[in-house]
Amino acid sequence: MHTISNKQIAIVGGGPGGLTLARLLQQEGASVRVYERDLHKDVRVQGATLDLHEESGLKALEHAGLMDAFKANYRPGADKMRIVDQHAHILMDEQGSEATGAFRPEIDRGPLRKILLESLQPGTVVWDSQLSSLEKADGRWLLQFRNGSTATADLVVAADGANSRIRPLITEAKPFYSGITVVEGAVYHVATALPYIDQLLNGGKVFALDGVRSLIVSTKGDGSLAFYTGCRTDADWVKDSGIDFADKDQVLAWFRDEFKDWDPLWQELIVNAETPLMPRPQYCMPPDQTWTAQADLTMLGDAAHVMPPYAGEGVNMAMLDALELSECLCDERYTDTGAAISAYENSMRQRIAETATLTLEQTEALHSAGAAQHMLNLFNDLPGQA
């Protein structure tokens, strides 16, 4: 008998982690609802292509019975990588897993979300449900949403991201600023809007580095690209800068100043970007955090362990969280949900401490002298590399 038998489970957040958990729990017969703040399933999913790893993201999809769907939707060749300097001179041209024999598949966020959504029972996801409060009522959780609706649940899982409203109910630990702020943008119809950058990308990703700043550009299957500038700033730079990130002229003026010794071709990213661009100060939860497990409340993904994106582990860790949490909740060795959640959280914290430390080291290295050589060394150490 599962610890979650006859319990109503609420997952707050419909990202890859939350949807993977819903799928895995439904496979075990659990009663699950996912509450997602997006208005509907067809909202455009932002962000760069995802690199799913065999020991985490792909492992979760395998257990969810979704590998066939994944293989029908991933993008062969999208894991090709070029490292360039600020003048777009190519320092490394890595031809991807098809050339090396290592399987490092990439998939766009939209198709991944579609695969997960279509695997769920009808009505599982309740759209337009942005959480405003969570409190106990008659021994159960009462969820209240900004649209005025409410729901109740016996067990709540926070999958609501870096700015989780639920995390403070679990731990007093707060994320700290990593020192790096990203400005994220998207350009559509890249082949016609940015032909030179499109050629440089060659269907994959480009890391442009100068030892202080970074610029990561990634193709997507719909003919668009996503890009992320990375700069050292104060924690309050977004507010203190006075930049209106919906005003392209203001963002371009900042970029021309901040990246003034870079080739002007990179400015075309800003010129052709959709507005608003999104500034994102990069935060990380303390690697050594701990808390006391609760019997009816837990968290996964960025809600539990937000970290900068420079090691490519965020979505992978969220999906592995989902797998490990589902396995603990459905493991008959645990006599109650409190024991199951405690086992999951202890394992998750231990795993994340190592990943967060590695991610912070990577973030520092990519914005320090020798950044390009650091990246070259990383790729030379990959399986299948000469």
Task: Quote the tokens at residue 55.
Answer: 């020991």
* Chain centroid offset of residue 93 CA: 25
DSSP secondary structure, 254-311, as one string: HHHHHTTTS-GGGHHHHHT--SS-EEEEEEE--TT------SSEEE-THHHH---STT
Q: Per the annotation, does 234 bind a ligand? A: no
List alpha helices for the chain, DSSP H. Answer: 16-27, 57-63, 67-73, 97-100, 109-118, 190-193, 195-201, 237-240, 248-258, 267-271, 302-305, 314-329, 337-365, 371-380
- Measured CA to CA, the distance from residue 288 to residue 50 in angstroms comes to 27
Q: Per the annotation, does 44 bind a ligand? A: yes
- Measured CA to CA, the distance from residue 351 to residue 370 in angstroms comes to 28
CB-based contact 18:34 (threshold 8 Å):
yes
Nearest to 185 by CA among 217, 222, 226: 226
DSSP secondary structure, 167-223, as one string: GGGT-----EEEEEEEEEEEESSHHHH-HHHHHHHTTSEEEEE-SS-EEEEEE-TTS
Annotation: binding site: 44, 51, 109, 302
Annotation: binding site for FAD: 51, 109, 302
Annotation: binding site for NADPH: 44
